[in-house]
Amino acid sequence: MTVRLTVAQALVRFLAAQHTERDGQRQRLIAGCWGIFGHGNVAGVGQALLQAAETGEADLKYYLARNEQAMVHASVGFARMRNRLQTFACTASIGPGSTNMVTGAALATINRIPVLLLPSDFFATRAASPVLQELEDPRSYDVSVNDAFRPVSRFWDRISRPEQLPSALLAAMRVLTDPAETGAVTLALPQDVQAEAHDWPEDLFTERIWYLPRPLPEPGALDRAVGVLRSARYPLIVAGGGVIYSEASQALREFAEATGIPVSDTQAGKGALAWDHPLAVGGVGSTGSPVANALAREADVVLGIGTRYSDFTTASRTAFQHPDVRFVNLNIAAFDAGKHAGTAVVADARAGLEALTAALSGYRTDEAYRVRAQELNASWQRVVDEAYHLGHQPLPAQTEILGTLNEFMDERDVVVQAAGSMPGDLQMLWRARDPKQYHVEYGYSCMGYEIAGGLGAKLAAPEREVFVLVGDGSYLMMATEIVTAVAERIKLNIVLVDNRGFGSIGSLSESLGSQRFGTRYRYRNPDTGRLDGGVLPVDLAANAASLGADVIRTRTVKEFAAALEQARASDRTTVIYLETDPLAPVPSSQSWWDVPVSETSALESTQRARAAYAAAKRAQRLYL
Ligand SMILES: Cc1ncc(C[n+]2csc(CCOP(=O)(O)OP(=O)(O)O)c2C)c(N)n1
Ligand SMILES: [Mg+2]
């Protein structure tokens, strides 16, 4: 039996029939389709989505975004919240609509989050070439702007013939649902092929289930890992995002309690273990807690679970200073498990932790070690409390805003952030109790992710309040999805933290001897010729109101706290605006981040910074 449909109609029908299953729980894989139409997809995928909605022959709800990059962010926010069991498809027109998604693709792939991208492409027949927005590479007629997706996609294909669609779709679903391989999957769809009819086998559209595996550790690998761990006197766990995606929090807690090994976390892993668990020692690395960083410096064995060991996690390879430190890496991806010459345990985080707990029975860290961790932590928590209640004047400090929000939020609420000075302050200071409470995109740290990603997170968890934290720089890059939130009646609470420029890169610049050059939003000054003139007459609160959000302007921490109550009580997207002091003090993580400073310079500030850089660099252990 065959059915005659266009390529786009077949695609939509196929996507609506895909499911995932893990631990006996089944859900749709592709929850819907984001899109912005242009000549490349309006009559192809656009027509197919319309027909599906009109006839009910396929259930794939369409969502209209305002920027193609944002629709990928929203899909990532959604998929992350759903622990990679579900995601969205994103359709874009050819040319700029498609390349707008490249940044989102990189973000998805780097964070190991599934998203299906459907950029439209030039005519496969080349009948009308060059079509509007076609690249035209004089070296080859086979190259289009969509080739830019290749390095940022875990699977990439161009459907030049209808016959190619079924195998490409199956490969795409396999990669999306493989926790070791997942990331952006790109199927480039030539404009003419989308509208071309073909006789498809009915079987293509039957319901399909993609089972997410929980692979067990191979016995030899488990033995080797246990051997290393049993020899450890000062072990430390680094819990990454894989713990959360695998829903391994309970297994992690039981493992830590059985062995007495302290647990530090990464940006993606925060909340894997509740912050006030006696074995939780906070974030590790460049923006971690001094507690985790002190333990990391002395650790003889580091057990990394579901982490890809980014430079922020390893403090650019300076975090682990024990001369004989060894790594045991439990990871679903062999690529990550092999890092730092580690003893690799390639397995699902939950299954691997359960196996390790059983195999390590009888092993326990010294009480003195655990007590030391707890004492360090107790004094650090006093520093956090102080930062939460600084009373900074005249403008509040950012740490007070984060503290007020932290104390206000329920454990099942979600905080979303991605770029600027907030991810660092959050990693150091945030107290997360629930594994889904802390949603900071720090694989790509992409300015503009916040509102769009928050929209996706709220779509995934409508029962939770979502608090998006966004800096003025990030807001200016992509505030567009406020309009989408308003149109869809998806309620977001957006906290817009205005410090008039780049607080983060400003202080980084200063610490590297570059004097905050180019990091403030100011008029060009006719006297100096630089951007150090007066404050700009920019009103971001008015901007947010113009996009359809309710806006509350606040000036003090007290007003901010009251505004949070008001926002929670409302059923409309609310933006809480406030200004903070970018120069307010922040506690130190007692760590480092490798950002090279000019080796030669005419500026004294740079020369001083270079000397400090050279000294810090000596602690780096490149060949671990
Ligand atoms: C798309 C993108 N461009 C540039 C950067 C580099 N960058 C990181 S933080 C930052 C400034 C962010 O400003 P803002 O959102 O106001 O946050 P603040 O640093 O003031 O807290 C920049 C330019 C980035 N992360 N993402
Ligand atoms: Mg700013």
Q: Enter the tokens of residue 302.
A: 């580091």
CB-CB contact of 283 with 292 (8 Å)? yes
Pocket of ligand 1 contains residue 419 by CB under 6 Å: yes
Q: Please give the pLDDT value at position 334.
A: 98
What are 454-488's pLDDT values in tens digits? 999 999 999 999 999 999 999 999 999 999 999 99
- Which residue, judged by its Cα, is nearest atom 16 of ligand 1? 473
Strand spans (E) along 66-132: 87-92, 115-121
- Please tell me the distance between residue 120's alpha carbon and the centre of ligand 2 in angstroms: 35
Residue type, 120: S
Q: Please give the pLDDT value at position 302.
A: 98
Q: Enter the tokens of residue 352.
A: 């691997």
- Which residue, judged by its Cα, is nearest atom 17 of ligand 1? 420
Q: Give the integer Cα–Cα distance in Å for 272 and 250.
A: 9
> Ligand 1: which atom is nearest the Cα of residue 444?
25
Task: Give the strands of the sheet with 25-28, arranged side by side.
Answer: 25-28, 18-22, 208-211
Does 420 have pLDDT greater than 80? yes
Coil/strand/helix, residue 319: coil
Q: What count of other Cβ atoms lies within 10 Å of the Cβ of residue 548? A: 14
Which of 486, 447, 445, 451 is closest to 468 using CA atoms? Answer: 451
Where are the alpha helices (H) located in 421-502, listed in sequence order? 422-429, 449-460, 472-477, 481-488
- Please tell me the distance between residue 420's alpha carbon and the centre of ligand 2 in angstroms: 7
545, burial (CB in 10 Å: exposed 0-12, middle 13-18, buried 19+): middle
- Which residue, judged by its Cα, is nearest atom 1 of ligand 1? 447
| 540: CB partners within 8 A, 6+ apart | 472, 475, 476, 496, 498, 577
C-alpha pair distances (Å), 392 with each of 407, 408, 507, 581: 18, 19, 18, 8
What are 67-119's pLDDT values in tens digits? 999 999 999 999 999 999 999 999 999 999 999 999 999 999 999 999 999 99
C-alpha pair distances (Å), 570 with each of 222, 468, 565, 575: 51, 15, 9, 11
Q: What is the mean pLDDT of residues 429-453?
A: 98
Residue type, 453: G
Q: Please give the pLDDT value at position 545.
A: 98
What are 340-387's pLDDT values in tens digits? 999 999 999 999 999 999 999 999 999 999 999 999 999 999 999 999
Angle in degrees, 0-180, between the axes of helices 398-408 and 367-388, rounded to the nearest 10: 110
How would you label 477-503 residue by residue, b for 16+ Cβ within 10 Å and e otherwise? Answer: bbbbbbbbbbeeebbbbbbbbbbbbbb
- Please tell me the distance between residue 580's alpha carbon and the centre of ligand 2 in angstroms: 9
What are 274-329's pLDDT values in tens digits? 999 999 999 999 999 999 999 999 999 999 999 999 999 999 999 999 999 999 99
Q: Enter the tokens of residue 282.
A: 């906070």
- Please tell me the distance between residue 542's alpha carbon and the centre of ligand 2 in angstroms: 17
What are 376-417's pLDDT values in tens digits? 999 999 999 999 999 999 999 999 999 999 999 999 999 999
Residue type, 594: D
Where are the alpha helices (H) located in 489-580, listed in sequence order? 503-511, 540-546, 557-569
Coil/strand/helix, residue 44: coil
Q: Give the integer Cα–Cα distance in Å for 261 and 247.
A: 20
Q: Is the dihedral of CA 265, 266, 271, 275 positive or negative?
A: positive
Mutate which of 72, 502, 519 to test ligand 1's pocket (most atoms within 8 Å of Cβ)?
A: 502
Which of 282, 105, 132, 301 is closest to 186 using CA atoms? Answer: 105
Q: How confident is the model at residue 623 (pLDDT cuts 50, 70, 90)?
A: confident
Q: Which ligand is nearest to the CA of 104?
A: 1
DSSP string, 168-200: HHHHHHHHHT-TTT-SEEEEEEEHHHHT-EEEE
CB-CB contact of 177 with 210 (8 Å)? yes
- Please tell me the distance between residue 497's alpha carbon and the centre of ligand 2 in angstroms: 7
What are 515-532's pLDDT values in tens digits? 999 999 999 999 999 999
CB-CB contact of 309 with 332 (8 Å)? no
Q: Give the integer Cα–Cα distance in Å for 382 and 508.
A: 26
- Please tell me the distance between residue 505's alpha carbon and the centre of ligand 1 in angstroms: 7
Which of 252, 264, 593 is closest to 428 using CA atoms? Answer: 264
Q: Is the peptide bond before 151 cis (omega within 30 degrees of 0)?
A: no
Which of 289, 291, 294 is closest to 319 using CA atoms? Answer: 294
How would you label 148-172 residue by residue, b for 16+ Cβ within 10 Å and e otherwise? Answer: bbeebbbbbbbbbebeebbebbeeb
Q: Please give the pLDDT value at position 102.
A: 98
CB-CB contact of 322 with 340 (8 Å)? no
Q: Enter the tokens of residue 223.
A: 């033995």
Residues in the chain: 624
Pocket of ligand 1 contains residue 437 by CB under 6 Å: no
> Ligand 1: which atom is nearest the Cα of residue 103?
1
Mutate which of 451, 494, 504, 583 to test ligand 1's pocket (most atoms within 8 Å of Cβ)?
A: 504
Pocket of ligand 1 contains residue 149 by CB under 6 Å: no
Q: Which ligand is nearest to the CA of 447?
A: 1
What does DSSP say about strands 438-440 and 414-417: parallel, antiparallel, or unpaired? parallel
- Please tell me the distance between residue 504's alpha carbon and the centre of ligand 2 in angstroms: 7
Q: Is the dihedral of CA 6, 9, 15, 16 positive or negative?
A: negative
Q: Which ligand is nearest to the CA of 448?
A: 1
Coil/strand/helix, residue 562: helix
Which of 461, 451, 458, 456 is closest to 491 using CA atoms? Answer: 458
Which of 590, 564, 565, 572 is closest to 401 using CA atoms? Answer: 564
Pocket of ligand 1 contains residue 399 by CB under 6 Å: no
CB-CB contact of 256 with 305 (8 Å)? no
What are 328-341's pLDDT values in tens digits? 999 999 999 999 99
Q: What count of other Cβ atoms lies within 10 Å of the Cβ of residue 278? A: 13
DSSP at 394: S
Q: How confident is the model at residue 503 (pLDDT cuts 50, 70, 90)?
A: very high
Residue in the block written with tokens 């009109």: 54
- Please tell me the distance between residue 587's alpha carbon and the centre of ligand 2 in angstroms: 19
Does 624 have pLDDT greater than 80? no
Q: Give the integer Cα–Cα distance in Å for 145 and 122.
A: 9
Residue in the block written with tokens 């400073």: 597
- Which residue, judged by its Cα, is nearest atom 8 of ligand 1? 420
Q: Enter the tokens of residue 461.
A: 């968890």
Q: Enter the tokens of residue 532.
A: 């150090």
- Please tell me the distance between residue 474's alpha carbon and the centre of ligand 1 in angstroms: 6
Q: Please give the pLDDT value at position 93.
A: 98
Does 202 have pLDDT greater than 90? yes
Q: Please give the pLDDT value at position 59.
A: 96
Pocket of ligand 1 contains residue 502 by CB under 6 Å: yes
What does DSSP say about strands 184-190 and 115-121: parallel, antiparallel, or unpaired? parallel
Q: Is the peptide bond before 396 cis (omega within 30 degrees of 0)?
A: no
Residues β-bridged to residue 605: none
